[in-house]
C-alpha cells in the first residue's frame, strides 16, 4: 500500500497534501467485501533530501513526499458462531439458515415409492423454516430404518448420508405410517389395516345368515313372499320394519295364503312391508350382537332407523382393505355412503378366502343375496381379480359403486365374549 500511495502522491512543494487533494475527489469508491473493515491509514510528509527545479519561480525547491502507512491495527476477537450441528427439534431458519430447508428436501427426496404422504414440501406449514414435530418424527423413521441411534436429531455425518442418498426409507409391505406423540416426542407408527384377531365366527356366520334370510327369504306359515324395497317418501315413513312387524301387517290384511303376495305388492302397503338397505343391515347386526348396535346409537327400537352412512362410519370400527381380512359381520359402504351391505359368510379353501356372501336391499330387487368370487385375497373387494354376482348389478357396476368395508367395534366385542 505504501508503494501505491507513494506513486500517486509523490510531489514537490511545501504543502503537497493541499496541492494534490483534487486527485482523490473523483476516485471510484469500491465497496468493502462483506466481513472486512476499512483500515486506518497515516499520511506523513517526509524530506526527500534532494531539491527539484521549479520552472515558475526559476528556483530550486526542497523536495518532499507524502508517505501513506498503515496505522497499527487492533484486531478484535471474532464473534462466536453457534455450531450448526446437531440440527434438532425447535431449530429455525433464523438460527440455522438454509440447513432447515435442505433437511426437508433431503428427507422428502430419499423416501421410497408410495411414501409421498410423508414428504415435507413447499406449501406445508413450516417448510424450510421450522424443525418441527413432523421433521423430528421423519428423522427418527430414517434412523430406525438405517440402524442409527433414534433421537430425531441430525449431525453432520447424518446430513452427509442423506446428501449422498445412502440413507433411505422403504415403503412397508402393507399399512401406512401415522404420526403419533407430540413436539420432540413425535414419531411415525406403522398402522396395518386388517381385521382384529377375533374368535371363531362359524356360529356367528350362521346367525347372520338366518337373520338376513328373514328378509331375503321372507315367509308366512311356510308361504314365501317377495318383499319390496321402500325408502321414506314425504310423510310416509317406512323401510325399517322388522320381519315380525311385516308379517303381522300382512296377516292383518288377509289370512288367505294366496293373497299374501298381492298385499306385499300393493303400492299403498309398501311403506309398511318394504325394507331399505339400512333397515335390513341395522336389524341383522343389532339382533346378531344382542342389541349392541342400538346401544351405540342410543336407540330402543327400529322405528327411527340408522342411516347407511352412520352404520358404516370408520369412527365406529376398523376399515378393511383386503379380502383375506373380511369376516362375517363386516359391512360394505357403497355409493359413497348411500348404500350398505352386510357380509354374512366368508368361505375359505386351503386357508385362503375364495368367496364372500352378502345380503342387502335395493330399489331394483328389494332384499336379496349376492356373492363375490375372490381371485386374490390380498386385493380389496373391488380388485381386478374379484368377481361380483348380484341380480342388480354387473361386476363392473358393483365395483364402481363399492367404497370400502368396515368391521364395527360391536361385532368385535361380541365375538370376544
Cα dist. 332→202, 204, 254, 261, 298 in Å?
Answer: 20, 18, 37, 30, 22
On whether both 312 and 274 belong to a single domain, the answer is yes
Residue 39 clears pLDDT 80, i.e. is over it: no
pLDDT classification of 304: cutoffs 50, 70, 90: confident
Tell me, yes or no, whether 196 lies in a domain. Answer: no
Q: Is the pTM of this model over 0.75?
A: no
Whether residue 362 contacts residue 397, with contact meaning beta carbons closer than 8 Å, is answered with no
On whether both 108 and 236 belong to a single domain, the answer is no
pLDDT confidence of residue 127: 95
Tell me, yes or no, whether 75 lies in a domain. Answer: no
What CA–CA distance (Å, rounded) separates 223 from 261?
Answer: 9
pLDDT confidence of residue 300: 86
pLDDT classification of 150: cutoffs 50, 70, 90: confident
Q: In this structure, what CATH number is given to the domain that contains residue 331?
A: 3.90.1720.10
Max CA separation in the chain (angstroms): 153
pLDDT confidence of residue 361: 98
Residue 18 clears pLDDT 50, i.e. is over it: no
On whether both 400 and 277 belong to a single domain, the answer is yes
On whether both 277 and 343 belong to a single domain, the answer is yes
Domain end position, chosen among 154, 170, 191: 191
Q: In this structure, what CATH number is given to the domain that contains residue 174?
A: 1.10.101
C-alpha cell at 332: 360394505
Residue 414 clears pLDDT 80, i.e. is over it: yes
Total domains, the chain: 3
pLDDT 10s digits, 210-256: 999 999 999 998 899 999 999 988 888 999 999 999 999 999 999 89
β-bridge mates for residue 345, sequence order: 357
What average pLDDT does the segment 190-217 reach? 77
Residue 130 clears pLDDT 70, i.e. is over it: yes
Whether residue 136 contacts residue 128, with contact meaning beta carbons closer than 8 Å, is answered with no
Of 19-28, 105-114, 168-177, 246-255, the one with minimum mean pLDDT is 19-28
pLDDT confidence of residue 47: 52
Structural domain harbouring 376: 202-416
pLDDT confidence of residue 298: 93
Give the H/E segment covering residue 368: strand 366-373
Tell me, yes or no, whether 51 lies in a domain. Answer: yes
pLDDT classification of 37: cutoffs 50, 70, 90: low
pLDDT classification of 121: cutoffs 50, 70, 90: very high
Tell me, yes or no, whether 242 lies in a domain. Answer: yes
Using only C-alpha atoms, the chain has a radius of gyration, in whole angstroms, of 43
* Of residues 327, 336, 380, 334, the one with CA closest to residue 361: 334
Q: C-alpha dihedral over 31, 34, 37, 41, to 10 degrees?
A: -30
On whether both 45 and 181 belong to a single domain, the answer is no
What average pLDDT does the segment 32-54 reach? 54
Tell me, yes or no, whether 87 lies in a domain. Answer: no
Of residues 351 and 42, which shows the higher confidence score? 351
On whether both 300 and 155 belong to a single domain, the answer is no
pLDDT classification of 175: cutoffs 50, 70, 90: confident
Of 27-31, 37-41, 401-405, the one with minimum mean pLDDT is 27-31
pLDDT confidence of residue 72: 57
On whether both 165 and 113 belong to a single domain, the answer is yes
pLDDT confidence of residue 147: 87
Name, of 36-45, 94-103, 200-209, the range with top average pLDDT: 94-103
pLDDT confidence of residue 1: 44
On whether both 401 and 312 belong to a single domain, the answer is yes
pLDDT confidence of residue 51: 53
Whether residue 282 contacts residue 311, with contact meaning beta carbons closer than 8 Å, is answered with yes
Amino acid at each position: 500500500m505504501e508503494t501505491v500511495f507513494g506513486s500517486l502522491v509523490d510531489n514537490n512543494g511545501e504543502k503537497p497534501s493541499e496541492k494534490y487533494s483534487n486527485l482523490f475527489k473523483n476516485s471510484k469508491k469500491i465497496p468493502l467485501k462483506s466481513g472486512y473493515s476499512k483500515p486506518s491509514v497515516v499520511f506523513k510528509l517526509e524530506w526527500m533530501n534532494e531539491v527539484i527545479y521549479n520552472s515558475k519561480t526559476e528556483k530550486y525547491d526542497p523536495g518532499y513526499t507524502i508517505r501513506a502507512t498503515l496505522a497499527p491495527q487492533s484486531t478484535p476477537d471474532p464473534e462466536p458462531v453457534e455450531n450448526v450441528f446437531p440440527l434438532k427439534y425447535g431449530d429455525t431458519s433464523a438460527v440455522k439458515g438454509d440447513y432447515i430447508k435442505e433437511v426437508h428436501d433431503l428427507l422428502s427426496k430419499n423416501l421410497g415409492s408410495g411414501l409421498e404422504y410423508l414428504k415435507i414440501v413447499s406449501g406445508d406449514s413450516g417448510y424450510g423454516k421450522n424443525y418441527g414435530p413432523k421433521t423430528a418424527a421423519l428423522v427418527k423413521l430414517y434412523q430406525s430404518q438405517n440402524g442409527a441411534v433414534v433421537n430425531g436429531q441430525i449431525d453432520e455425518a447424518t446430513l452427509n448420508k442423506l446428501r449422498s442418498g445412502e440413507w433411505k426409507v422403504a415403503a412397508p409391505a402393507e399399512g401406512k405410517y401415522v404420526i403419533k406423540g407430540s413436539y420432540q416426542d413425535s414419531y411415525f407408527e406403522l398402522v396395518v389395516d386388517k381385521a382384529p384377531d377375533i374368535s371363531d365366527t362359524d356360529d356367528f356366520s350362521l346367525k347372520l345368515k338366518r337373520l338376513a334370510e328373514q328378509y331375503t327369504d321372507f315367509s308366512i306359515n311356510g308361504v314365501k313372499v317377495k318383499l319390496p324395497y321402500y325408502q321414506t317418501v314425504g310423510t310416509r315413513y317406512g323401510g325399517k320394519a322388522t320381519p315380525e312387524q311385516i308379517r303381522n301387517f300382512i296377516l292383518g290384511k288377509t289370512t288367505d295364503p294366496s293373497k299374501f303376495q298381492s298385499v306385499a305388492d300393493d303400492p299403498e302397503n309398501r311403506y309398511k312391508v318394504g325394507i331399505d338397505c339400512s333397515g335390513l343391515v341395522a336389524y341383522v347386526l343389532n339382533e346378531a350382537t344382542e342389541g349392541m348396535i342400538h346401544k351405540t346409537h342410543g336407540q330402543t327400537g327400529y322405528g327411527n332407523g340408522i342411516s347407511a352412512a352412520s352404520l358404516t362410519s370408520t369412527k365406529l370400527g376398523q376399515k378393511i382393505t383386503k379380502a383375506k381380512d373380511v369376516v362375517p359381520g363386516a359391512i360394505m359402504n357403497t355409493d359413497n355412503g348411500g348404500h350398505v351391505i352386510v357380509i354374512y359368510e366368508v368361505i375359505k379353501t386351503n386357508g385362503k378366502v375364495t368367496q364372500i356372501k352378502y345380503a342387502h336391499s335395493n330399489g331394483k330387487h328389494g332384499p336379496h343375496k349376492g356373492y363375490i368370487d375372490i381371485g386374490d385375497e390380498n386385493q380389496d373387494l373391488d380388485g381386478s381379480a374379484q368377481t361380483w354376482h348380484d341380480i342388480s348389478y354387473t361386476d363392473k357396476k358393483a365395483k364402481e359403486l363399492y367404497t370400502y368395508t368396515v368391521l364395527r367395534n360391536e361385532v368385535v366385542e361380541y365375538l370376544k365374549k
